[in-house]
Chain A
Amino acid sequence: MRDWMIEAHALRQSFGSSAEAVVAITNLSRTFGSKTVLNDVSLYLPRGSVFGLVGETGAGTTTLIKLILGLLRAEAGTVRVFGVDPVSNPVSVLARMGYLSEQPDLPGWMRVDEFMRYMQAFYPKWDAVYAEELRAQFGLDPAVRIKTLSKGQRAKAGLLAAQAHRPDLLLLDEPSSGLDPIVRSDILAAVIRTVAEEGRTVFFSSHLLEEVERVSDHIAMLHQGKLVLCGPLDEIKAQHRRITLRFETQQPKPPIVPGALSVTGTGREWTIICDAARTALPAITAKLDVRIIDEHAASLNEIFVGHAGVSLQTPDALAQSMD
């Protein structure tokens, strides 16, 4: 076991350039019929990172994951996994990947131990000792049939199958969707162990922004097929602020603040979410006869809502405009 200082050093070093990218996507577009699902997406997955992909339902997250898996072909742009095209090199790429979908398709009639042996046959690098360790950790009874497992246990069985060959890249599509908090936490803890122990790379999608904020070091936000935000979580958090303004007079309509991603509030107090435009604020506040009464780091949820362009009006303002 390495000591933790070296470990921390290695973690710092792993924030590499694109040359170190496990996945490199450039100008990727994909349509289904007339619907553009992914529109000019570019992103790099640094080795050793936990990359959280955020997007509302239908934003294109599952399509993006399928493109990384090589299950779909890019229409425009390129997808490279471990430096090669996953569509034309499925065997070499899939051998180094582990994948867990939102609803893992597992053979219900198999017992847990049978399922483990079955999966072992697909992966030359399957580690039976590690698989057994994971089974014990997840509290899965080897003699129980898959179809009788609860939803949470089934997700754990899926994660076991995705991890036991110690993949260089672990892909998780909504791994904790619809699961209770305890199972969610178990699954995330397993993900944390994966990166902490071996510096492997994890790419996962989630609607649960709290979860993404907990475990990711890099995030990307998809909105209607476009990447609205992408980068190290620290930087994104540092760029976005939630600022509460107090006006001298009542404001019947949301004030126009240049650079604000969203404006909410009523009367004299309004809260804005803004990004790098923060530096321009003092000049604006001087002009608007307003003072800043509160300033905080914005939560990931506020940042996402700000960028997705939802919730720009308060219920009050909405009611007024409908009058």
Chain B
Amino acid sequence: MVLRLNPSSGVPLYLQLIEQVKHAIETGAIRAGEQLPSVRKMAEDLVINPNTVARAYRDLEHEGIIELKHGSGAFIRESIVARARLMHKAQTVVQSALDRLASFELTEDEIRRLVENELALRRTGKQSRKVCVIG
């Protein structure tokens, strides 16, 4: 499992860490029952504050993704695998959508802007369909 963090993105590092662990589970890079590195090892490998790792692990436990076993470490929960399968299924939806978009000859950047714009609209609750991809 290779994790990469980007401190300049503005997204708090513990959130980036959580996302990356989830991503590693979805792609099968780490499987149910497997163990995550200790807080200290993870902090040293990523060169980040150990508290940041501890916080990410606590949140992952709270979300039911990992199980903290006293004295032996953090393990990926079996039950989370179902969720990962769902994500895998969703991935095929995304793939076919991207294939269709590719036939419009849109660039990767344009597609990303479209998706982000759509997500932002949903977040703010505005249902405007005006597409603003220029600029």
- Interface on A for B, CB 8 Å cutoff? 3-5, 7-8, 11-12, 50, 185, 188-189, 192-193, 195-197, 209-211, 213-217, 234, 237-238, 242, 246, 269, 291-302
Contact = CB atoms under 8 A, between A and B. Distances in A.
B47 interface: yes
A266 B86 CA distance: 42
Contacts of B8: 209-210, 213, 299, 301
Contacts of B10: 242, 296-299, 302
8 contacts: A4-B73, A196-B43, A196-B50, A211-B7, A217-B51, A295-B123, A300-B7, A302-B10
B25 to A, nearest CB: 20
Interface of B: 5, 7-13, 38-40, 43-44, 47-52, 54-55, 57-58, 68, 70-74, 117, 120, 123-124, 126, 132, 135
Given A214-B13, A242-B10, A7 B39 contact: yes
B113 to A, nearest CB: 11
Nearest to A300: B7
Contacts of A5: 68, 70-71
B7 A12 contact: no
A209 B40 CA distance: 23
Contacts of A185: 47
Nearest to B6: A210
Given A3-B71, A8-B57, A195 B7 contact: no
A8 B39 contact: yes
B44 A189 contact: yes
Given A293-B120, A300-B7, 6 more contacts: A5-B71, A210-B8, A214-B13, A217-B49, A234-B12, A238-B12
A216 to B, nearest CB: 6
B7 A210 contact: yes
A11 B51 contact: yes
Contacts of A215: 47-49
B47 to A, nearest CB: 5
A291 B120 CA distance: 11
B91 to A, nearest CB: 25
A-B pairs, top 10 by smallest CB distance, nearest first, are A299-B10, A8-B54, A4-B38, A210-B7, A213-B7, A196-B40, A196-B50, A4-B39, A3-B71, A217-B51
B55 to A, nearest CB: 8
A217 B12 contact: no
B132 to A, nearest CB: 8
Given A7-B39, A215-B47, A217-B49, A291 B124 contact: yes
Nearest to A208: B7
Contact of A297 (B12, B49, B55, B71): B12
A246 B120 CA distance: 13
Given A217-B52, A293-B120, A3 B70 contact: yes
B48 A214 contact: yes
Nearest to B5: A214
B72 to A, nearest CB: 7
A192 B11 contact: no
A294 B120 contact: yes
Contact of A192 (B48, B55, B73, B135): B48
Nearest to A210: B7
B135 A269 contact: yes
Contacts of A217: 49, 51-52
